[in-house]
Structure 1
Amino acid sequence: MDWSKTKTIFILAFLILDIYLMVEFYELRGKSDYAIMQRATTEEQLAADGIVYDNLPGDIGKGFYITAKSKDFTLDEVSKLKDQTLVLTNSKLSGDTFRILNMDLGEPFPLPDVNEKSKVSQFLKENVISGELYHYWYTDELTNSMIYIQQYKNQNIFQVKDDHIGMVILYLNEKNEIIAYEQSMLEDINEVEEKETAIPALKAIEALYNKKYLKSNSEIIQIQYGFYTHIPLSNQQILAPTWHIIVETDEDMRESYYVNALEGEVLQSAQ
């Protein structure tokens, strides 16, 4: 055996291996550096366009879809509500069940100038079926009403007002008294077993930016995590884990968006 040739072959083999490992190392480091640079570039682009935000929520971890059934309220349930009158509308489903309750109060319920939301929470718990499930969403100045939406595990079930799938709308008079309300409700809520890592809040903002939804010199004034369906069904609902983002433009206009927290899909919506 020619040991000199064998030695040369081993040296060349190790040299080739070293070169291969070195190339792999630099490629991996380059990808890592590119990812870091890409994240920084997104933030820099937002700043360059005057798009500001603050106090983003932390990472959610695993996200999951939920299913739910629209509740049919019965006349027996309604009869237990004291000092309230059921108003019949086209939300009446059949002889004894209702998808949306329309209730008039026998006596107006006054709200104080301070701690108003605390007083409303008391009203909901004492006067509305499963009222503890609903939490403040926003106030509609045009109709002089307060919108409360249902929650699941302390996360909002987002919905457009017209969808009305798990919502209480409180109607007020000029004296700031509750005089009537509408209610819809989701029940039999179940989590879909397959769970995936939810995208962080900044990624949801990036999705809006890349789709040209964010205007220059706008401010993201609110971002919340919850559940949402942009195609409400008549009975069974499928709701996706969703980031809800409210943007205020430099023209003092507010725009509302939903971003699927698993797929990064942007769902534009008006509140």
Structure 2
Amino acid sequence: MDWSRTKTIFIWVFLVLNLFLYTQYLESYKEGEKIEVLGETMEIEARLKGDNITYIALPNNKESASAAYYSGQIKNFSPSEVPYFPNQSAKIENNNKLIVTMDKPVKLQKSDTRDSYTDFVHKNVYEGDSYVLWDIDEEKKEATFFQKVNDVTLYYNVRGYIKLYWDDDNRIISYEQTMLEKHEKLDKEQNLLTARQVLQILYGKNLLKPDSQITEMNLGYSTIVQLTQTQVFAPTWEVRVKLADDTEEIHFVNAVQGRIVEIQNDLTEIVEQTEDLEE
């Protein structure tokens, strides 16, 4: 008997067998993942239905299934760099905030208030089209815009916002502006949690109340390092929930790690900003 040939045959047989078993394992593992995801989907939908929690059609984030962390630097204005616009007088506060007063109040032209504020910012504010309208407070007569990073909203960063102020005749009288510049992608892109997975996280932490309605889910950025000249932003899900009493809650979830993001939402100077760690 040719033992050398027999040995070679046995080696090839074992290689083929191991390859077959490994292929079977991968197929079983993938099938198990599908069953697990299906089970989770059915479970969260059943629980939401049981608590009478309704939601809009969930975003299909195939186009945004991954995103990178970004960094940006605080924009410091010097007197020679203050942008000039007609009918405006500007001063610099703390090197990084522009305080602008209209020489003559500006009457808004469009009937739609949201569009008119956005139109004013785009035409009359330095790099105004890099900001997006976030909130209108009719009582305080102010509108808040947040800066965009990677073309999506950067939530509540005191170094990247605009506030418009108007008088009783609905005329713009002043605004303030801060800016982050030199946005850079950090590291490679990360896989993002799906909208359904985010709902699972919020429900598991008892943040979705019975008889509520999830009205919006958007992808943006939140700031994880905010106390330095260079700041770091993480992909973040914004979830708006209308409660039974018609009030609204907004939750923010780190779209990579699944952590609940605690955001200081008054745009005052930041002392400390942290994320709620997983329990």
- The two structures have a TM-score, normalised by structure 2, of 0.78
* 1:232 counterpart residue number: 226
**Which one of the candidate residues 232, 252, 260 is aligned to 2:254?**
260
Q: 2:250 aligns to what SS in structure 1?
A: strand
Is the contact made by 2:69 and 2:234 (CA closer than 8 Å) also made in structure 1? yes
User: Could you tell me how far apart the structure 1 residues matched to 2:43 and 2:128 are?
Assistant: 46
- 1:44-90 deviation per Cα after TM superposition (whole angstroms, max 9, x unaligned): 101111111112221122121000001012212326233222356xx
Task: Percent identity, please.
Answer: 26
* 2:77 counterpart residue number: 73
Is the contact made by 1:257 and 1:269 (CA closer than 8 Å) also made in structure 2? no
Alignment gaps of 5+ in structure 2: 1-16, 266-279
User: Using CA pairs below 8 Å that are at least 6 residues apart, which structure has the higher relative contact order?
Assistant: 1
Q: How many residues matched?
A: 242
User: Could you tell me how far apart the structure 2 residues matched to 1:64 and 1:77 are?
Assistant: 31
- Aligned-residue offset at 1:31: 5.6
RMSD across aligned positions (CA): 2.5
Q: 2:158 aligns to what SS in structure 1?
A: coil
User: Could you tell me how far apart the structure 1 residues matched to 2:46 and 2:172 are?
Assistant: 47
Q: Computing the radius of gyration over CA atoms, which structure comes out larger, 1 or 2?
A: 1
* 1:3 counterpart residue number: none
User: Could you tell me how far apart the structure 2 residues matched to 1:27 and 1:204 are?
Assistant: 24
* 1:9 counterpart residue number: none
Name the amino acid aligned to 2:72: A
* 1:54 counterpart residue number: 56
* 1:45 counterpart residue number: 47
* 1:168 counterpart residue number: 162
Counterparts of 1:213-224 in structure 2 under 5 Å?
Answer: 213-224=207-218
User: Could you tell me how far apart the structure 1 residues matched to 2:30 and 2:153 are?
Assistant: 40
* 1:241 counterpart residue number: 235
- The two structures have a TM-score, normalised by structure 1, of 0.80
- Aligned-residue offset at 1:195: 1.4
Alignment gaps of 5+ in structure 1: 1-16, 93-97
Q: Assess, with a 3 A threshold, how the Cα gap between structure 1 residues 28 and 74 changes in structure 2: closer, same or farther.
A: closer
* 2:137 counterpart residue number: 140
Is the contact made by 2:224 and 2:232 (CA closer than 8 Å) also made in structure 1? no
Q: 1:136 aligns to what SS in structure 2?
A: strand
Question: 25-34 vs 107-116, which deviates more?
Answer: 25-34
Q: Assess, with a 3 A threshold, how the Cα gap between structure 1 residues 185 and 83 changes in structure 2: closer, same or farther.
A: same
Counterparts of 1:39-188 in structure 2 under 5 Å?
Answer: 39-59=41-61, 60-78=64-82, 80-87=84-91, 91-92=93-94, 98-112=95-109, 114-159=111-156, 163-188=157-182
Q: Assess, with a 3 A threshold, how the Cα gap between structure 1 residues 26 and 74 changes in structure 2: closer, same or farther.
A: closer
